[in-house]
Structure 1
Amino acid sequence: MMQLRSRAITALLVTGTAGLALAGCASGAGEEPAEEGGVSLVEPGTFTVCSDIPYEPFEFIDDNGDTVGFDIDIANEIAADLDAELEVIVDSFESIQSGLSFDKCDAAISSISITEERKGNMDFSEPYMDDDLTLIASADSGITDLESAVGKQVGVQSGTTGEAYAQENGISPIGFENAGLQLEALKAGTVDAVLGNVSVLAYGVKDEEGFERVADFETGEKLGIAVEKGDTALLEVVNGTLQRLTESGELDELKATWFGEGS
């Protein structure tokens, strides 16, 4: 097993005026941003990442109160290549995908599917993972495929490709703020099924009984790391880190650690 660089991580909850205050501290003090190898960072010496937490196993808070996960391991590696500390700010996925996070973060790393619409708000790294959609239903729901899910209570994460796919296929989904709440609703029986990315939903019910993965959908989704549009210097570092992890085999080791062998 590879030894990842160990970095201290702080997860901050940013909402409403708190996010604006942090943005003001970064850009309103009249100081030039720090340069880390030609990269301008929001906070000198710190690689600040916005992430929608919890979204296991990509990013979540463990029993020790630490921010961990597949995406966080990658973020640590980017921070190391920048010779910077990593700080993780908890932000909503709606804010992340709209590009509003870049007033307080250097990058958004949160299992973000690369889409043409999102490319209008941010620039993406090379893909670091394929991630299609799946439909998981309770065993007694009567749901056996997408067609039989029409008219049922189907939970999705708001603002995601899973929500869009459900709507495109005649389902009126119930939106949840994050995948944790989406899965809790399935386990509590308040929804009949959930639709979303295989990596997260399959992981969330892998040790649970009474649920069936009834259908997978090859949507060709690829995940990428987002930076502010035009931030070519940071994007070059991010892509360099991903290339290093890929060529060394470390990225595959991380996938096996978080998603199981054969991921």
Structure 2
Amino acid sequence: MFLFILLFLVGCGTGSDDSSSSENESDGSTKDKWVVGTDATYAPMEYMDSEGNIVGIDIDLVEAIAEELGKEVEFKNIGWEPLFPAVDNGEVDFAVSSITITDDRKESFDFTDPYYVANQVILVSEDSSIKSKDDLVGKRASVQINTTGHQVLKDLMGATSADIVASETMPIAIEELLNGNVEASVGDNSTVNEYIKNNPNVNVKLIEDNSFEKEYYGLMVKKGNSELVEELNKGIQAIKDSGKLKEITGFDVE
């Protein structure tokens, strides 16, 4: 009888612990601190300053949302390609990294409301004859791998085209142009414009083609985590209403 009672009590204790553990699982919305992943190679949106800090427009945006919602935030410089599995496996609560909201990505991840508008541009040497994206056909062009710019080149040249040089980061893609390995580099306007601003002596020019579609950045969250998406959207709306979003990004997103 004593052994029976002992086993009964142990069994009850185990069931109680499991229930408590399940109830304490967090979706990120109830956390006091968010861990946020990024690829800090995309100035001015996210990059490393001279002291090794992760800074940029995207970083300021998340910090403003966190302040509005009373959260602490820690940023992790994970890199572009590893960023997606890091969100999916819960290594980070969400990602901010100039991530364009696309139908393809929405199949695997959830996104907040958009907070930034961008478009693709073309960077070429000053003496280049390239005037539009159609002129890229038959020429070698560099781009950051698995970005919307990469998809633009695939649609234009073919998914398996040997003329597409897919680089790990946008700075490396631009280096391919400067080193003469490609005739053009395609990337988001914010990043390419920032490069030109910071390198006024480099002999390059910017090509803007109105046929490039507008792209909308959002915060990327694990699929199904609607509670966190809802909370982040509240934060985005709050800093939009206060004027902080426009102060950070330079404009409001309708």
TM range (shorter): 0.7 to 0.9
Q: Give the C-alpha shift of residue 107 in structure 1.
A: 0.6
TM-score, normalisation: structure 1: 0.76
Aligned equivalent of 1:48: 35
State whether residues 95 and 101 of structure 1, in contact with CA within 8 Å, keep that contact through their aligned partners in structure 2: no
Q: For 2:76 and 2:88, locate their aligned partners in 1 and report how far apart those are by CA, in whole Å.
A: 10
Query: Within 5 Å, which residues of 2 pair with 1:66-81?
Result: 66-81=53-68
Q: Give the C-alpha shift of residue 224 in structure 1.
A: 0.7
Aligned residues: 223
State whether residues 109 and 220 of structure 2, in contact with CA within 8 Å, keep that contact through their aligned partners in structure 1: yes
Among candidates 193, 207, 211, match of residue 204 of structure 2: 211
Q: Which runs of 5+ in 2 are unaligned?
A: 1-20
2:222 corresponds to 1:231: no
Q: Give the C-alpha shift of residue 95 in structure 1.
A: 3.4
TM-score, normalisation: structure 2: 0.79
RMSD over aligned CA atoms reads 2.3
Q: Give the aligned residue type for 1:198.
A: N
Among candidates 191, 208, 211, match of residue 200 of structure 1: 191
Aligned equivalent of 2:117: 130
Q: Give the C-alpha shift of residue 100 in structure 1.
A: 4.9
Q: Give the aligned residue type for 1:214.
A: I
Q: For 2:207 and 2:226, locate their aligned partners in 1 and report how far apart those are by CA, in whole Å.
A: 42
2:164 corresponds to 1:173: yes
Q: For 1:232 and 1:112, locate their aligned partners in 2 and report how far apart those are by CA, in whole Å.
A: 18
Aligned equivalent of 1:8: none
Q: Give the aligned residue type for 2:148.
A: T
Q: Give the aligned residue type for 2:40.
A: I
Q: For 1:253 and 1:81, locate their aligned partners in 2 and report how far apart those are by CA, in whole Å.
A: 15
SS class of match (2:92): coil
Q: For 1:160 and 1:237, locate their aligned partners in 2 and report how far apart those are by CA, in whole Å.
A: 27
Among candidates 178, 185, 197, match of residue 187 of structure 1: 178
State whether residues 27 and 227 of structure 2, in contact with CA within 8 Å, keep that contact through their aligned partners in structure 1: no
Q: For 2:249 and 2:117, locate their aligned partners in 1 and report how far apart those are by CA, in whole Å.
A: 11
Q: Residue 48 and residue 100 in structure 1: after superposition, are their counterparts in 2 closer, same or farther (change >3 A)?
A: closer
Q: Which runs of 5+ in 1 are unaligned?
A: 1-29
Q: Give the aligned residue type for 2:218.
A: G
Q: For 1:151 and 1:78, locate their aligned partners in 2 and report how far apart those are by CA, in whole Å.
A: 45
Q: Of the two structures, which has the highest relative contact order with CA contacts closer than 8 Å and spacing of 6 or more? A: 2
SS class of match (2:121): strand
Aligned equivalent of 2:131: 144
Q: For 1:133 and 1:230, locate their aligned partners in 2 and report how far apart those are by CA, in whole Å.
A: 30
Query: Between Structure 1 and Structure 2, whose CA radius of gyration is higher?
Result: 2
Identity of aligned pairs, percent?
30
Aligned equivalent of 1:23: none
2:243 corresponds to 1:249: yes
